[in-house]
Amino acid sequence: MMNLLDEFIPRFDFSERHSVDISAPASRIMNAVAAWRNQDDPLVRAAIRLREMPARLLGHARQRNLDLTDFTLLERRGDAALVYGLVGAFWRADYGLCDIPTTDAFLTPCHDDVCKLALGFSIQPGPHGTQLLVTETRVFCAMDRARRRFTPYWYLIRPVSGLIRRRMLATIREQSESPPSHHPRAALP
């Protein structure tokens, strides 16, 4: 099956990929992916707050920390794959986010001072009846100017970004493998 990310960012300048085996149905896994939020993990919250400190010091603080809700859901293919998109000048203190309310807006060519980022999740058969959840981030810089600005930022944030992705996957695995919190009560005879 073609990687859904290829439909949104077939060519890219930067990428990072992580995966985890999960013993749960694909539907539970993908629902846990869609429900994941930064604020659910104290270490991730702290990393995001640290990243956003320069904006606060400059008086450009956002109302809330960057989260998956800032991304646009570009496409979900059942329980097999989904892709989120974000466009911005990510190296800026305020991320330089562009409004992309739709998939078409994401696919529209952008000006030279921003990058496109796609965050994809896919589920593949894993070993011993498990599911392999793969997350891949791709960044495309349309122009050299944006690439030159983004490159040092990428190398600075990449270790923390990788940590966030690994923690995200661990949380998704834990939620997916845990029994449902509400079990229907059996009817009494």
State the Cα–Cα distance between residues 143 and 35, nearest whole angstrom: 34
Is the pLDDT score of 117 beyond 70?
Answer: yes
pLDDT digits over 59-68, tens only? 766 556 666 7
Model confidence pTM above 0.75? yes
Class of the 4-177 domain?
Answer: alpha beta
Query: Helices 42-57 and 144-177, interaxial angle, to 10°?
Result: 150
Residue 55 β-bridge partners: none
Higher pLDDT, 105 or 50: 105
State the Cα–Cα distance between residues 92 and 97, nearest whole angstrom: 9
pLDDT digits over 120-141, tens only? 999 999 888 899 999 999 999 9
What pLDDT is stored for residue 120 in this prediction?
Answer: 97
pLDDT digits over 85-116, tens only? 999 998 988 888 888 999 999 999 877 789 99
Contact 181, 35 (CB under 8 A): no
Is the pLDDT score of 185 beyond 60?
Answer: no
Report residue 7 as tokens: 């439909």
What pLDDT is stored for residue 1 in this prediction?
Answer: 40
